[in-house]
Structure formats: structure tokens, C-alpha cells
């Protein structure tokens, strides 16, 4: 049913953005200092959330899931190929969220009760995520509203604690460029591109889905990044849970970790199932169980030291991919046939290669924006040229 209003999307994406993983990402910006750190957070999120909202409009207008919208530019086989890649990255995200939540609960329980068991927490959080994804996402939206409101209260309390806490003001010896910081800020909303239309397709109109999604994610994600930035600057600490434990936040810290993980991770699980349905229709309950099961296995072996590289890999694949889709839909406004599918793949490969080439050193504007602009330009030029050639050949026949 296409009956979801703007407020639904605001709370949906606000809840998605409130997570320990986003705070960790913001903490990587600590070496930039407060002024530059705030600048890259705001600028990066404005850019990233605008791109995210535009991708959601396509799904709403065409009544398509995120992976289905890819078929507009890459055809049916392209949809299948990228659905597989999307499934992998969604399972990866789910695993990362299980790891960060379980580590956080371990720290909190050890502080409060002297008990720790990482493997047990992985299983418990995974079970809660499964139940939330299976039963609450669309059936009981008010449950999500309540959870997000509670998260807002807890997050503001966290902010108050950080602002008023005494710290050693230890400065990090690490360095990060403005462009790299901008990239880390843009890549988080970009990472939701392969999911957003799974939800906006249910919107009653494109304006409400765009505004709700944009402001919900922009406000919450920016705030999470700022919390991480404060952690890094005031305490030289990436892990917000350590600070909350030291600040005796107790049960409040536990609620933040559990609720933020659930309201974020169920989106990954739901969309991973939707991605599989794009390939073959199967029993939803069993597919969801399979996804959670695979994520549990990955969570037990994934090394969080690879988290930053994981974010960059998502950007390398999905930023040029959606650059083609967005330019086709909003600028070209036409897909001419098989020749365009082939050109779409060529453009994507060029964009992917360019991302890998400039990732290490980046640019002043980061990596994602130059890559998306180049990919869109290549795609548009080749398709315009292809259309001219096709028209001339047709006229000569």
C-alpha cells in the first residue's frame, strides 16, 4: 500500500541513523578539530542526504524497490548482479551492527554486574533484530515512533554528559585531510542508497518521502557524528560506550546500544530479504532467518579494524552505480534500449576504477562527489552520442 506519510519516513530514517557505528565514524574526524570537523559533517551530510532523497523519489514514482530501480539503467541482468552485491553489503552491515552492539553490552554488563559474554549478546541482539524486522517494521509503526523518541531523549542526555564532562584533552597524533573527512561524512547516507526505495515506494507522494527521509537522516546522523567528534576531541576516544561506562550512565547506556542497534539493523535485514526477492520469490520468514543466521556467523569472525575500509568499499560500488541511475532518470529522462545498458556498465566500471584510483589521496571535495560527477558525465555523453549514432543509422536504413 502507498499510504506512508512524511512523519513515518522521518522517524524511520532518524532511527536508522542513531547508532554506535555512526558515532564511531564521527570519531574518525577528531584530528580535524571542532570547526573543520563540524564543517565536514554538515556539508557532507547535506550532499549525501540530498543524493539519498533523490534516489528515494525514483522508487516512489516508479513503485519500485531500490534494486528494481537499477533495471531502468542496467536491465534485468544488471539488477541481478547488483542485487547480489547489495545482499553482501547488507549482511556486512548487519554483522557490524551486531558486533558493535555486543561489544557495547559486554562493557556495560561488566561494569554493572561483572559479567561478560560476547557470543551470548550476539545471539540475543540478533534475535531481537529478527523479531523487529519480521513483525514491527510495517505492522506496528508506532512502536518505532516510541523507540525513536526514547533514543532522542537518551542521545540528548549523552550530549549533555559529553559537554559537561571533564577530560584530559589529549590530542591525537593522527592526521586526516578535509577531503577525507568530507568523504567519511558523505559515505554514510550514500550507504543507504541500495535500500531507500524499498521504503519510499510505499509513500503516498514523493514530496513527503523526500522531506521525511532527508531531514530524519540528516538531523540524526549529523548529531551522531558530532557526538563521535566530541568523544575524539575531549577524550581521544572512538568508543562512545567506554565514555558512557566511565560516566556511570548505566542502564541508559544499555538502552541506547540495544534500541539504536535494533532501529538501524532491521532495515538492513528487511532490505536484504527484499533484495533476494528481486531474484527469486521465497518464504519471507525463512529468508529473514537465513540472513540473520549468516550475519551472526560473520559477526563472530569480522575484524572491526576493517570498518573504515568497508565504508570505502561501499562508496566505490554504489556511488558510481547510482550516479548512472540518477543521471538517467533526472537528466536524460530516457533509456533507449540495450545499447544504454551496455553503456551504463561501461560508465559504472570507469567510475569504480576512478574511485579506487583516487581513494588513497582523495581530493579537496572527497572521493564520492568527483566520482559521481565523472560517472554521470561519462554516462550522459556516451548515451547522447549513442543516441545520435543510432538515429543516423536508422535513418540510413
Identify the band that residue 277 occupies on the pLDDT scale cut at 50, 70 and 90.
Answer: confident
CB 128 within 8 A of CB 262: yes
Distance, CA of 299 to CA of 263 (rounded, Å): 18
Written as nine digits, the cell of 63 is 513503485
Task: Please write the tens of the pLDDT for every residue from 223-257.
Answer: 999 988 988 888 777 677 777 776 666 677 778 78
Distance, CA of 385 to CA of 397 (rounded, Å): 19
Task: Please write the tens of the pLDDT for every residue from 279-305.
Answer: 787 777 888 899 999 999 988 876 666
Measure CA 219 to chain center: 14
298 closest CA partner among 149, 120, 92: 92
Q: Is the pLDDT score of 166 beyond 70?
A: no
- Say how many Å lie between the first and final Cα of the chain, rounded: 47
Cα angle: 307, vertex 196, 214; to 5 degrees: 90
How much is the average pLDDT of 49-70?
Answer: 94
Range of weakest confidence among 96-105, 162-171, 361-370? 162-171
Greater pLDDT, 210 or 275: 210
Q: Is the pLDDT score of 308 beyond 80?
A: no
pLDDT, averaged across the chain: 84
Task: Please write the tens of the pLDDT for every residue from 147-165.
Answer: 778 878 877 877 777 777 6
Q: Is the pLDDT score of 186 beyond 80?
A: yes
16 closest CA partner among 136, 196, 174: 196
Domain definitions of the chain by residue range: 6-306
Identify the band that residue 139 occupies on the pLDDT scale cut at 50, 70 and 90.
Answer: low
CB 79 within 8 A of CB 321: no
Cα–Cα distances in Å, from 387 out to 31, 75, 197? 49, 17, 29
Q: What is the pLDDT of residue 290?
A: 92
Selecting from 1.10.10.10, 2.60.40.10, 1.10.4160.10, 3.40.50.300, what CATH number does the domain 6-306 have?
A: 1.10.4160.10
Written as nine digits, the cell of 45 is 551530510
Amino acid at each position: 500500500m502507498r499510504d506512508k506519510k512524511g512523519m513515518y519516513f522521518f522517524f524511520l530514517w532518524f532511527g536508522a541513523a542513531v547508532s554506535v557505528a555512526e558515532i564511531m565514524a564521527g570519531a574518525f574526524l577528531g584530528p580535524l578539530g571542532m570547526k573543520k570537523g563540524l564543517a565536514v559533517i554538515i556539508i557532507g551530510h547535506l550532499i549525501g542526504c540530498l543524493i539519498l532523497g533523490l534516489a528515494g523519489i525514483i522508487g516512489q514514482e516508479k513503485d519500485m524497490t531500490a534494486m528494481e530501480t537499477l533495471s531502468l539503467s542496467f536491465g534485468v541482468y544488471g539488477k541481478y548482479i547488483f542485487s547480489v552485491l547489495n545482499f553482501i553489503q547488507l549482511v556486512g552491515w548487519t554483522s557490524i551492527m551486531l558486533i558493535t552492539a555486543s561489544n557495547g553490552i559486554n562493557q556495560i554488563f561488566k561494569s554493572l554486574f561483572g559479567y561478560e559474554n560476547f557470543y551470548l549478546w550476539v545471539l540475543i541482539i540478533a534475535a531481537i533484530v529478527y523479531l523487529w524486522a519480521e513483525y514491527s517494521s510495517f505492522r506496528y509503526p508506532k512502536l518505532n515512533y516510541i523507540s525513536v523518541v526514547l533514543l532522542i531523549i537518551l542521545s540528548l542526555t549523552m550530549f549533555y554528559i559529553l559537554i559537561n564532562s571533564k577530560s584530559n584533552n589529549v590530542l591525537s597524533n593522527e592526521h586526516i585531510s578535509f577531503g577525507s573527512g568530507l568523504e567519511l561524512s558523505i559515505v554514510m547516507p550514500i550507504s543507504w542508497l541500495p535500500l531507500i526505495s524499498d521504503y519510499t515506494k510505499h509513500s503516498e507522494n514523493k514530496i513527503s518521502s523526500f522531506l521525511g527521509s532527508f531531514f530524519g537522516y540528516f538531523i540524526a546522523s549529523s548529531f551522531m557524528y558530532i557526538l563521535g567528534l566530541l568523544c575524539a576531541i575531549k577524550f581521544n576516544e572512538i568508543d562512545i560506550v567506554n565514555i558512557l561506562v566511565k560516566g556511570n550512565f548505566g542502564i541508559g547506556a544499555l538502552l541506547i546500544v540495544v534500541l539504536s542497534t535494533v532501529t538501524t539493523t532491521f532495515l538492513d535485514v528487511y532490505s536484504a530479504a527484499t533484495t533476494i526477492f528481486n531474484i527469486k520469490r521465497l518464504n519471507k520468514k525463512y529468508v529473514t532467518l537465513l540472513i540473520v543466521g549468516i550475519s551472526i556467523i560473520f559477526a563472530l569472525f569480522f575484524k572491526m579494524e576493517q570498518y573504515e575500509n568497508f565504508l570505502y568499499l561501499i562508496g566505490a560500488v554504489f556511488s558510481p552505480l547510482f550516479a548512472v541511475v540518477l543521471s538517467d532518470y533526472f537528466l536524460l529522462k530516457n533509456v533507449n534500449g540495450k545499447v544504454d545498458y551496455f553503456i551504463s556498465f561501461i560508465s559504472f566500471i570507469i567510475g569504480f576504477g576512478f574511485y579506487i584510483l583516487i581513494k588513497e589521496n582523495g581530493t579537496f571535495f572527497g572521493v564520492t562527489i568527483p566520482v559521481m560527477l565523472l560517472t554521470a558525465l561519462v554516462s550522459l555523453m556516451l548515451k547522447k552520442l549513442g543516441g545520435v549514432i543510432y538515429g543516423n543509422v536508422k535513418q540510413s536504413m
